[in-house]
């Protein structure tokens, strides 16, 4: 079985930055209210940038970082719940933008866990020897899915993309990935597909926007994530205290603080950048990893962990090269 390592990282966000104070101009909220409950200070919102635009930009940065040309990529997976089209896939659109030819390209929908799920697929296929270089992208334009009059959601979600290049390696650096789902919680975070009545079916979906039961999602995340991290470290010889950096899905600072407490790990080991970007769903982990890169040293042990709609969750244990 071949080894796998991360050989390149990249990110992209829309140009427009929207602060909490900006949002408070049109909805009953405040900077203090939002930051104290979420840890978010600002976010980037699309004024026309598409999911493909952001995904392709992040992917190009990751390719440049890896030193690879587009023709070296033989697998492209985009994790997203906000594609520009149902078909073609965002992955095919990105391949076209970057000049990637003859690669296997497809999208994957696992909401905020999407980057972890897509990474598991890519890493498994490289392990088997089917592919040499995989481009995995998390990309979202969530601003088009939220009700901007709903204080419970519009202050949280934002737009962006992050990308990683996984490469075949003599020495394996992706130690273990563990994902899971629980459909019993499928009603806790929802985003409907829009339907139009036709000659045979006059049903029309009246729910247009993302909806979330924040209280139940908090309970789920603070229970499932620390257990999943313990499980992904099982049989590796390492404990949470041995990990140098934890990069969790950037949904809520309180969730990360709770996970740190349950794992008995110093908060300082939990990387946070949600104050700048908000919750970018599948993009949040690769954006955070790209931001954290300058702090990483060869041999650093890192946990990446995502959680979200589905319900879905998953963790990766990697060693930085």
The catalytic position among 20, 228, 252, 279 is 279
Q: Report d(CA 296, CA 221) in Å as an integer.
A: 26
DSSP-H helix ranges across 39-178: 51-66, 90-98, 114-128, 151-154
Peptide bond preceding 256 in cis form (omega within 30 of 0): no
75-79/133-141 β-pairing = parallel
Q: How far is CA 293 from the centre of its chain?
A: 16
Q: Report d(CA 21, CA 108) in Å as an integer.
A: 35
CB atoms within 10 A of CB 144: 14
Residues comprising the chain, all counted:
321
Distances (CA, A) of 208 to 118, 150, 196, 312: 27, 12, 12, 22
Q: Report d(CA 179, CA 271) in Å as an integer.
A: 21
Catalytic residue check, 44: no
Catalytic residue check, 154: no
The catalytic position among 133, 228, 249, 252 is 249
Helical pair 51-66 and 90-98, crossing angle rounded to 10 deg: 50
Catalytic residue check, 127: no
Distances (CA, A) of 61 to 79, 99, 105, 161: 17, 14, 19, 11
Tokens of 315: 């963790």
Contact between residue 4 and residue 171 where contact means Cβ atoms under 8 Å apart: no
Q: Going along 57-209, which residue ranges are E strands?
A: 75-79, 104-108, 133-141, 159-169, 174-181, 189-190
Q: Report d(CA 285, CA 280) in Å as an integer.
A: 9
The catalytic position among 105, 112, 133, 154 is 112
Contact between residue 31 and residue 188 where contact means Cβ atoms under 8 Å apart: no
Which residues have a catalytic role annotated?
112, 249, 279
């Amino acid at each position: 079985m071949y080894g796998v390592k991360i050989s390149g990282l990249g990110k992209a966000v829309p140009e427009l930055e929207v602060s909490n104070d900006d949002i408070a101009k049109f909805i009953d909220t405040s900077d203090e209210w939002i930051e104290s409950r979420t840890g978010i200070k600002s976010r980037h919102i699309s004024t026309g940038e598409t999911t493909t635009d952001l995904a392709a930009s992040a992917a190009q940065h990751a390719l440049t970082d890896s030193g690879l040309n587009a023709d070296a990529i033989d697998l492209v997976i985009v994790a997203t719940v906000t594609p520009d089209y149902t078909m073609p896939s965002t992955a095919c659109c990105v391949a076209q933008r970057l000049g990637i030819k003859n690669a296997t390209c497809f999208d994957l929908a696992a909401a905020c866990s999407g980057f972890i799920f897509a990474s598991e697929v890519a890493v498994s296929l490289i392990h088997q020897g089917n592919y040499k270089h995989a481009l995995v992208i998390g990309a979202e334009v969530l601003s088009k899915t939220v009700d901007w009059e709903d204080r419970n959601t519009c202050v949280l979600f934002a737009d962006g993309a992050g990308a990683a290049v996984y490469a075949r390696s003599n020495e394996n650096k992706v130690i273990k990935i563990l994902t899971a789902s629980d459909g019993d919680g499928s009603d806790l975070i929802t985003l409907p597909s829009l339907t139009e009545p036709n000659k045979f079916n006059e049903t029309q979906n009246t729910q247009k926007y993302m909806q979330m039961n924040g209280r139940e999602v908090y309970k789920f995340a603070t229970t499932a994530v620390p257990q999943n991290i313990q499980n992904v470290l099982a049989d590796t010889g390492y404990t949470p205290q041995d990990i140098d950096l934890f990069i969790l899905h950037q949904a809520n600072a309180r969730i990360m603080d709770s996970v740190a407490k349950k794992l008995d790990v110093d908060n300082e080991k939990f990387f946070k950048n949600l104050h700048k970007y908000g919750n970018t769903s599948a993009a949040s982990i690769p954006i955070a990893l790209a931001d954290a890169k300058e702090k990483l040293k060869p041999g650093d042990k890192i946990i990446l962990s995502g959680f979200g709609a589905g319900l879905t969750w998953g963790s990766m244990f990697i060693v930085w090269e």
